[in-house]
Homo-oligomer: A and B are copies of this chain.
Amino acid sequence: MTKRVTIVDVAARAGVAISSVSSALNDRPGVSAGTRIRIIAAADELGFVPSIRARSLSSKRAFAVGLVVQRDPDVLESDPFFASFIGGVESVLGSRGYALVLQMGAGREETLERYRRLAADRRVDGVFLSEIEIDDDRIPLLEQIQLPVVGINAERDDFPFVCVRQDHVAGIERLMRYLVDLGHTRIAHVSGPSRFIHARQREAAWREALVRLQIEPGRVVEGDFTYEGGHRAADELLVGGDLPTAVMCANDLTAVGFMARAIDLGFSVPGDVSVMGYDGIQLGEYVRPTLTTLKTSPRLIGAEAARLLLDQIDGDPVADIDIPPVQLIVRDSTGPSARR
């Protein structure tokens, strides 16, 4: 019923002191090969599972890490990023005996409060920091609290923690080169909310890629990563004389919304305007026309971020990581420039 077999039982069975059991099971030096084997055998036979609670108390570790996601319910409703990200995180955490504590804050203040509580309670040994904004309050807060942090897509300069980044530059350059090869020269961008670092990164990558390809960057309309945002962006971009021949949206959902609205407005996709997304979510495969996009791997980002966080907690040296895009997926929403 209650947790029966403790380290004491193992020690008794192996005929050694509990300290030896501890050393043996944690791969610490100071115990001979012979006794080590004996101890491990005893532990196995008894089905010994060390008590995380006692371990936590004694070793001052929680064996858990935290993720706080700020969720203004509408925006993130069906954001596929976190599900995959968490999957990746979990795969690494599980194998190292760690667990993930997930918190959700509705507004800014609530989110900060969650971090504070997590730290005050010492419930986790480290946290992920994602969806980072310009002048993000959480950064000074986390600097003050002494807690290992791994950032996700943080800005490249001036970020005080280690970070995992999607390599937007490489990915978006591939998208742009593809468009330019098709003859496009007026290429617009529907960005994410500009307060988000990762939205700015994508926009900057778009701009730089075009400059590098010697194309004048087209208009930028700020979206919000939603389907509806794509609608609005189409309304804004597809009027007047200076129409873009291609549009790159900051994510797939926006691109799908953009296409739907463009078609409603009487444009042909890709005949009049090519549309591309960024993410590679399932949906892009089902809409008509199917969506050209760049597939990324939130799962990989999660796994690497978890590895970095755990290494950092263990005191191992860590360094930033760039995750390359997975694959350029060419489908039906893009085609040769109309050149009108």
Using a CB–CB cutoff of 8 Å, the interface residues on chain A facing chain B are 1-3, 49, 51-54, 56-57, 60, 62, 64, 71, 73-74, 76-80, 82-84, 86-87, 90, 94, 99-104, 106, 114, 117, 120-123, 146, 226-228, 231, 257, 260, 264, 281-283, 285-288, 299
Contact = CB atoms under 8 A, between A and B. Distances in A.
A54 B99 CA distance: 18
A100 B99 contact: no
18 contacts: A52-B121, A53-B56, A53-B57, A71-B83, A73-B299, A78-B78, A78-B80, A86-B104, A90-B103, A94-B114, A94-B117, A100-B101, A100-B102, A100-B103, A102-B102, A227-B283, A228-B286, A260-B286
Given A257-B286, A281-B77, A286-B228, A101 B64 contact: yes
Contacts of A74: 282
Contacts of A285: 228
Contact of A83 (B49, B57, B77, B146): B77
A283 to B, nearest CB: 6
Across the A-B interface, give the 7 residue pairs with the lowest CB-CB distance, nearest first.
A78-B78, A53-B56, A102-B102, A53-B57, A90-B104, A227-B286, A78-B80
Nearest to A82: B83
Given A74-B282, A78-B282, 6 more contacts: A73-B84, A77-B80, A77-B282, A90-B104, A99-B101, A101-B101
Contacts of A76: 83
Contacts of A123: 52, 99
A127 to B, nearest CB: 13
Contacts of A80: 77-78
Nearest to A283: B227
Contacts of A51: 57, 122
Nearest to A50: B121
A31 B64 CA distance: 36
A118 B64 CA distance: 12
A32 B120 CA distance: 29
Contacts of A79: 78, 83
Counting chain B CB atoms within 10 Å of each CB, which of A2, A74, A122 scores highest?
A: A122
A84 B75 CA distance: 12
